[in-house]
Chain A
Amino acid sequence: MKPRNFVRLEFPSFPANVGLARIAIATFATQLEFTLGELEEIRVAVSEAVSNCVIHAYPDSPGQVELEAVIEDGCLEIGITDYGKGIDDIALARTPAFSTDPERMGLGLVFMESFMDSLEVQSEPGKGTRIRMRKKPESECDGPRRV
Chain B
Amino acid sequence: MLEELSNRQSDQRKVQAHKRPGKLGNHGNLLEGMDLFLPKDSYRICGAKGGILLLLSTEKKGNHLLVKIGGELDLSTSPRFREKVEEELNYDPSIKHLVLDLQDTTFIDSSGLGVILGRFKRISAQGGKLLAVRVPSHLVKVFELSGLLRIMEICPTPEDAQKSLLGG
Contact = CB atoms under 8 A, between A and B. Distances in A.
Interface in A83-140: 97, 101-108, 110-111, 114
Interface size bucket, A side? Answer: 20 to 34
A55 interface: yes
A108 to B, nearest CB: 6
Interface size bucket, B side? Answer: 20 to 34
A17 B121 contact: no
Interface in B17-64: 49-52
A51 B110 contact: yes
Interface string A54-82: 11000000000000000000000000000
A101 B113 CA distance: 13
A111 B54 CA distance: 22
Contact of B75 (A54, A101, A105): A54
A15 B76 contact: yes
B121 A107 contact: no
27 contacts: A14-B50, A15-B75, A15-B76, A16-B50, A16-B52, A16-B76, A17-B50, A19-B51, A19-B52, A19-B72, A20-B50, A22-B107, A37-B141, A47-B107, A47-B109, A47-B111, A51-B74, A51-B75, A51-B110, A51-B111, A97-B147, A102-B118, A102-B121, A103-B117, A104-B110, A105-B113, A105-B146
Interface of B: 49-52, 72, 74-76, 82, 107, 109-111, 113-115, 117-118, 121, 138, 141-142, 145-147
